[in-house]
Amino acid sequence: MHPSNFDLFADRETEQQPRAEQIGEQSWLLRGFALPLIEQLLPALESILLAAPLRHMMTPGGFSMSVGTSSCGALGWITDRTGYRYSSVDPLSGSPWPALPPVFAELAHSAATRAGFAGFDADSCLINRYVPGAKMSLHQDKDEKAYAAPIVSLSLGLPAMFLFGGFNRSDKSQRIALLHGDMLIWGGVDRLRFHGVLPIKQGRHPRLGEQRINLTFRVAG
């Protein structure tokens, strides 16, 4: 947290903050939480994607992912035929991933705090771009070294139907419609819940066009 920017979030860290919906014992949906910062977030995202372009990575099973993926921060999540893991370099360029912009770090910290996870300090931000039809199958986030820190996720652009499941793939999932600027935080006892995204529907978002972008902030290393 950069103390000089703390006041940006001060009003949104109070108990009066509206629309914090509890979706699990330690899981929260913060509707529109990122909207006040959107005009700072989008240009920062754009510069990251110039340095580390989106690409369709290969799963260990040999399938190309329907989402386009990139990362910023000290560690980026990658997958190829040898497996899922974090890497400090972008395999496309051989260079370190772009740095995590301060506005990203501060937003993630602030959202985590609001959800009851103080001191969140992301070292990784995964960027997933969904065009209509793209989806994310049910999975657990478990490539991180430890699970003490929550997952902090930001949705941008087209709406998505997010599946928030249990601890077994076959457990019934809650369906949560995620909109531009919404944030979802799950950690603690909920950290290893299965989750996924149904195929994105055709549409055009006024700011982002025919796409949804999800940023997932994690402590990976």
Q: Report which secondary-structure segment, H or E, holds 7.
A: helix 7-10
Question: What part of residues 127-146 is at the interface with ligand SIN (CB under 6 A)?
Answer: 128, 136
The closest alpha carbon to 15, from 114, 107, 91, belongs to 114
Structure tokens at 8: 């940006």
Which listed option, ligand SIN, Fe ion, none, makes contact with residue 124 (CB within 5 to 8 Å by class)?
A: none
Which listed option, Fe ion, ligand SIN, none, makes contact with residue 162 (CB within 5 to 8 Å by class)?
A: ligand SIN
Q: How far is the CB of 136 from Fe ion (least distance, A)?
A: 7
Nearer to ligand SIN, 37 or 158 (CB): 158
**CA–CA distance, 15 with 134 (Å, rounded to integer):** 37
Phi-psi region of 80 (alpha: psi -120 to 50; beta: other; left: phi over 0): beta
Q: How far is the CB of 202 from ligand SIN (least distance, A)?
A: 17
> Is residue 144 part of the contact set for Fe ion (CB under 5 A)?
no
Which listed option, ligand SIN, Fe ion, none, makes contact with residue 214 (CB within 5 to 8 Å by class)?
A: ligand SIN
Which listed option, ligand SIN, Fe ion, none, makes contact with residue 128 (CB within 5 to 8 Å by class)?
A: ligand SIN
- The answer to whether the CB of 146 falls within 8 A of the CB of 191 is no
> Is residue 217 part of the contact set for ligand SIN (CB under 6 A)?
no
Q: How far is the CB of 213 from Fe ion (least distance, A)?
A: 14
Contacts of residue 59, Cβ cutoff 8 Å, sequence gap at least 6? 65, 79
> Is residue 216 part of the contact set for ligand SIN (CB under 6 A)?
yes
Residue type, 173: S
> Is residue 71 part of the contact set for ligand SIN (CB under 6 A)?
no
**CA–CA distance, 218 with 221 (Å, rounded to integer):** 9
Segment interacting with Fe ion (CB under 5 A) among 85-93, 100-108, 140-148, 180-188: 140-148
Q: How far is the CB of 157 from Fe ion (least distance, A)?
A: 18
CA distances from 55 to 50, 88, 92, 143 (A): 12, 17, 9, 20
Q: Which residues bind ligand SIN (CB under 6 A)?
A: 128, 136, 153, 162, 195, 197, 214, 216
